[in-house]
Amino acid sequence: MLDGRRTPRYDTTLACKELAEADPVLGQLIERAGPYTLRLKSQHSPFEALLESIIYQQLHGKAAAAILKRLLTYFGEYHPTPEHILAAPEDRMRGCGLSANKLLALRDLAAKTLDGTVPTLTQIRRLPDQEIIDRLTQVRGIGPWTVEMLLIFRLGRPDVLPVSDYGIRKGFALTFKRLPKRKPFDATMLAKPAEMLRRGERWRPWRSVASWYMWRACDLAGKPSPPPE
């Protein structure tokens, strides 16, 4: 495995073959972009993964990493438990760099983990994608996109199509729409979620793989919009 990360458990060669057969235009993109090289992130519990997601939301990566490091240092260099988050004094948590809204979101995440809304790692592996989305989006500050990234990059689910993702919408437009050749790409050219869902029906059960190639389409066009890290 590259850089120590895990590879998806599904057959990626079969996925690319079936996608190319179902959608020849996508097949041309797959041929140009080359092998599917997605690597999964470490398997934190849903609580730990969402804790990091909340901290990183709407922040520059370095700033968010610094806040996370201070938080882990406060809790002794390990991921805090839900009980730790709920018991920690507000001023100490804010002192780590958390905004009031992020602190409220973390405490809601902790409470919903303890009441069972947020499943354990063992439980989430057995749940269907939509149930995971339905349950995790009950947490303050967690929307469908955040959960879809968790499904693709941590759980390795093969059939996820994040139609709200900017890079995927742009890659779809670059691949399937007739765009003005000399006009710079702008938001008006982005694919609409409805048209993505319609075409995406032919990509089942490999929509995560197709999504990855939409990100690659942006790279190939010289307008990088890489998969989230």
Contacts of 70 (CB under 8 A, 6+ apart): 95, 96, 97
64: three-class secondary structure by DSSP: helix
115: three-class secondary structure by DSSP: coil
The whole-angstrom separation of Cα 159 and Cα 157 is 6
Instruction: Give catalytic residues, as residue numbers.
Output: 165
Query: How many other CB atoms are found less than 10 A from the CB of residue 67?
Result: 18
The 3-class SS string of 138-158 reads CCCCCCHHHHHHHHHHCCCCC
Which residues are 40's β-sheet partners? 6
Closest CA to 152 of 220, 229, 225: 229
With 0-12 CB in 10 A as exposed, 13-18 as middle and 19+ as buried, what is 147?
A: buried
DSSP state of 58: T
